[in-house]
A = this chain, B = another copy of it.
């Protein structure tokens, strides 16, 4: 029991340390030795938990992505109409990124790196259905614009990335509800049928 928790503790510490360093320096210029040092763990211990550096990176990505999905979709199903669903999803996503900037930056960095393995592609398509279903619902009800589902998905995803990156640069607006509300309305108007 105790050893079990200590164990998890080290594994967790390695993952946290890795993310911290990856975000600041990138994958390839972060040596495994630095990760071990940052996690206060011996070099060999790192390779006890992860067979290769790549496995460490992929694990980190998968766990981060799963956590993202769980947090941002929480409660969305319970909302009454499409706009409320979309709003909650939007706010959840923005808040998630603001609360865990390291996670957001890591995912963004990872998805834009040529590093991505097949594993990742599968992983992405695992969650994507949720968004597609939501968009399809909105189109059926005539609430959302009638453009191809996957195009709308892509455009809205990037638009949220845009607002998040903006808020990273303008910390003064991060807790400004008027501002966030304006940003959401801009978002909503761009996808809602007039």
Where the two chains meet, the residues of A that have a C-beta atom closer than 8 Å to any C-beta of B are 23-29, 108-109, 112-115, 145, 147, 150-151, 154-159, 161-163, 165-166, 170, 182-183, 186, 189-190, 194
Contact = CB atoms under 8 A, between A and B. Distances in A.
Contact of A159 (B23, B112, B155): B155
A114 B25 contact: yes
A161 B113 CA distance: 15
A147 B26 contact: no
A150 B108 CA distance: 21
A125 to B, nearest CB: 12
Nearest to A108: B112
Given A112-B108, A194-B194, A154 B166 contact: yes
A26 B28 contact: yes
A161 B24 CA distance: 24
A61 to B, nearest CB: 14
A145 B113 contact: no
Given A27-B28, A155-B186, A158-B158, 11 more contacts: A26-B113, A26-B114, A145-B186, A147-B182, A151-B166, A151-B183, A155-B159, A155-B166, A158-B161, A190-B190, A194-B194
Contacts of A165: 154, 158
A194 B190 CA distance: 11
